[in-house]
């Protein structure tokens, strides 16, 4: 089945929905998502939206907090755009009747989270901000936005000029080809390549794999953020315990009640995530269980209804005032190289949200900047397309030479366990070399013809691609920075301070610059 349209968006999270809402003013839009429209990390997000809205806060402080948390491995220009344009995006959202939590006097209730110098976190429904925001954006979708659920996108189509002109999808036994003037990747991250994650169980990095196979630039894949506090029971992660719990007065303790973060970092329990996650990891490696003590939080059930329900469903009573936790994969700072307008190294292919590497998160994302990114850059990208977007006229496909149907793959659970063991919070050359040996090389994936494979097999290949990119990048970067911690290279190295590990068209390179500015049809195209 063939469908002709203006824009195809792959993914259905906050970035996708925000972009679709704005683009619908001019374009017909099709959203393709591989599960239910609400089945994504956006919908599960307990944290809020970081934005400067109070009179005693300043964008300069938010920018500095973002740079400090990410250890200055950023595109400063894009960080400034995120924070400064983010104020307007959030104001517009509230003006569109998005309900936010407020104080008794009617002012916006602002929470404090890790590595923020000021309370600036906006919530909706306590710890259900993601759900509230997704529901709000879905409600705002007009009729010229068509949603296709349970379709897996498996191949991007390029024309003879090297432009993206569409995508192939699978839905059970049915296949579709979408031809469009623009294709937008908004597929989220790749947390499920690890056995312990806060992400959805099918978050394999699909969009990154799609772009990689199409030859787009991919960068920063070594930077995987681990959240310090996933509810952890009987050796399994059960869901996220938001950082807002610690912002409200919770703190990390071991079995004896010792405060784990005391004396470790000036911000204590609200230190950047890569630091708190590493400390929880070290405690558990010693054989110690770790918890969040919530005894100082008044009205916990009212403030955190989602977490309360999650605990109750898993047999943990809030009355005990301790929540058992462990660190787990949470957010990928790397991805498809893009600017703040979504432009990638492939013309007419755009990327927004967690799937994109825009340089706004550096080596470690600041808490609650992810929902801000989806709302802000989703809007910026869409408004830019409304202004400069043009109809595609060349739909003559370039032919690929992928003829192999076989590739030696590991079972999914083996990949997840091996990745957690060797490319998780703490890495070293021996473990990363093991991963590189048992996974296919990044060059090998280009021989596979995905059209003949089942949906399950394609997802397994996407998982392998994401894992290979993470492991290879982590092996290449010989230093510790942010969420990338090497046991054999424990310190930051100035040589690596402004260098990016980049994949493009099957080749790996280390680059000195994130962007070169190339003017293409009135747009700035993201290239290295």
Q: Which domains does the chain have, with CATH numbers?
A: 2-219+333-388 (3.50.50.60), 228-327 (3.90.700.10), 403-499 (1.20.58.100)
Q: In 3-state terms, what secondary structure has residue 218? A: strand
If phi > 0 it is left, if psi is from -120 to 50 it is alpha, else beta; for residue 14 that is alpha
Which residues, in sequence order, are bridge partners of residue 155? 168
- What dihedral angle (degrees, nearest 10) is formed by the CA atoms of 341, 342, 344, 348? -90
* CA pair distance 346, 343, nearest whole angstrom: 8
Res 482 pLDDT > 60: yes
Structure tokens at 14: 């906050």
- Which residues are CB-contacts of 523 (< 8 A; sequence separation ≥ 6)? 341, 343, 384, 388
pLDDT above 70 as % of the chain:
97
Catalytic residues: 273
Q: What is the mean pLDDT of the chain?
A: 94
- Which residues are CB-contacts of 219 (< 8 A; sequence separation ≥ 6)? 334, 335, 337, 357, 500, 501, 502, 503, 511, 514, 528
Exposure of 341 in the CB half-sphere (CA atoms within 13 A): 18
pLDDT at 518: 41
pLDDT above 90 as % of the chain:
91
In the chain, what are the helix, strand and coil shares in percent, each to the nearest 5?
A: 35, 25, 40
pLDDT at 181: 98
Q: Please say whether the beta carbons of 13 and 134 come within 8 A.
A: yes
For residue 248, which of 290, 309, 302, 294 has the smallest C-alpha distance?
Answer: 294
pLDDT at 523: 45
- pLDDT confidence tier of residue 515, bands split at 50, 70 and 90: low
Which residues, in sequence order, are bridge partners of residue 185? 10, 351
300-338 confidence digits (pLDDT tens):
999 999 999 999 999 999 999 999 999 999 999 999 999
pLDDT at 163: 97
Q: What value does the CA radius of gyration of the chain take, rounded to a whole number of Å?
A: 22
Concatenated DSSP letters for 239-297? EE--THHHHTT-EEEETT--BTTTTT-TTGGGS-HHHHHHHHHHHHHTT--EEEE-TT-
10 Å CB burial of residue 280 (0-12, 13-18, 19+) is buried
In whole angstroms, how far apart are CA 172 and each of 8, 209, 278?
A: 20, 20, 41
* CA pair distance 471, 475, nearest whole angstrom: 6
211-264 confidence digits (pLDDT tens):
999 999 999 999 999 999 999 999 899 999 999 999 999 999 999 999 999 999
Q: How do strand 290-293 and strand 251-254 relate by DSSP bridges?
A: antiparallel
DSSP state of 93: H
379-428 confidence digits (pLDDT tens):
999 999 999 999 999 999 987 777 676 789 999 999 999 999 999 999 99
Structure tokens at 112: 């404090």
pLDDT at 173: 75
120-152 confidence digits (pLDDT tens):
999 999 999 999 999 999 999 999 999 999 999
Give the pTM.
Answer: 0.95
Q: In 3-state terms, what secondary structure has residue 450? A: helix
pLDDT at 398: 86
If phi > 0 it is left, if psi is from -120 to 50 it is alpha, else beta; for residue 268 that is left
Q: Which residue has the higher pLDDT, 125 or 515?
A: 125
* CA pair distance 230, 44, nearest whole angstrom: 13
For residue 242, which of 348, 350, 352, 123 has the smallest C-alpha distance?
Answer: 123
- What dihedral angle (degrees, nearest 10) is formed by the CA atoms of 455, 461, 467, 471? -170
């Amino acid at each position: 089945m063939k469908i002709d349209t203006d824009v195809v968006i792959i993914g259905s999270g906050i970035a996708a929905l925000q972009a679709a809402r704005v683009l619908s003013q001019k374009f017909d839009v099709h959203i393709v998502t591989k599960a239910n429209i609400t089945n994504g990390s956006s919908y599960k997000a307990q944290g809020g939206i970081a934005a400067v809205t109070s009179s005693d806060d300043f964008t300069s402080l938010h920018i500095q907090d973002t740079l400090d948390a990410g250890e200055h491995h950023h595109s400063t220009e894009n960080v400034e755009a995120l924070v400064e344009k983010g104020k307007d995006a959030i104001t517009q959202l509230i003006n569109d009747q998005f309900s936010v939590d407020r104080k008794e006097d009617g002012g916006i209730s602002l929470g404090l989270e890790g590595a923020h110098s000021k309370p600036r976190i906006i919530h909706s429904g306590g710890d259900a901000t993601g759900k509230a925001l997704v529901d709000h954006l879905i409600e705002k979708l007009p009729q010229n936005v068509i949603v296709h659920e349970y379709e897996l996108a498996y191949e991007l189509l390029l024309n003879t000029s090297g432009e993206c002109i569409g995508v192939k999808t699978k839905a059970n036994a049915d296949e579709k080809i979408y031809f469009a003037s623009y294709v937008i990747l908004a597929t989220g991250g790749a947390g499920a390549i690890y056995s312990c994650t806060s992400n959805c169980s099918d978050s394999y990095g699909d969009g990154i794999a799609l772009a990689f196979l199409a030859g787009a630039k991919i960068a920063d894949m070594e930077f995987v953020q681990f959240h310090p506090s996933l509810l952890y029971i009987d050796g399994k992660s059960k869901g996220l315990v938001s950082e807002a719990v610690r912002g409200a007065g919770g703190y990390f303790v071991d079995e004896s009640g010792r405060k784990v973060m005391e004396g470790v970092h000036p911000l204590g329990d609200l230190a950047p995530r890569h630091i708190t996650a590493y400390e929880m990891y070290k405690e558990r490696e010693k054989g110690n269980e770790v918890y969040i003590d919530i005894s100082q939080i008044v009205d916990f059930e009212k403030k955190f209804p989602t977490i309360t329900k999650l605990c109750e469903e898993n047999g943990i009573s809030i009355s005990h005032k301790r929540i058992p936790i462990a660190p787990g994969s949470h957010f990928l700072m790397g991805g498809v190289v893009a600017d703040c307008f979504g432009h990638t190294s492939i013309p007419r292919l755009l990327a927004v949200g967690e799937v994109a590497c825009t340089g706004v998160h550096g080596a470690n994302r600041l808490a609650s900047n992810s929902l801000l990114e989806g709302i802000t850059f989703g809007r910026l990208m869409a408004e830019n397309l409304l202004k400069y977007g043009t109809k595609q006229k060349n739909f003559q496909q370039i032919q690929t030479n992928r003829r192999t149907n076989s590739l030696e793959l590991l079972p999914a659970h083996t990949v997840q366990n091996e990745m957690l063991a060797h490319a998780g919070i703490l890495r070293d050359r021996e473990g990363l070399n093991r991963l590189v040996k048992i996974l296919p090389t990044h060059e090998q994936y280009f021989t596979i013809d995905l059209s003949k494979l089942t949906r399950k097999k394609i997802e397994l290949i996407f998982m392998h691609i994401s894992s290979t990119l993470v492991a290879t990048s982590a092996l290449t970067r010989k230093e510790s920075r942010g969420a990338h911690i090497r046991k054999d290279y424990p310190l930051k190295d100035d040589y690596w301070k402004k260098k990016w590990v980049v994949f493009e068209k099957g080749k790996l390179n280390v680059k000195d610059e994130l962007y070169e500015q190339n003017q293409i049809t009135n747009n700035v195209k993201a290239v290295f």
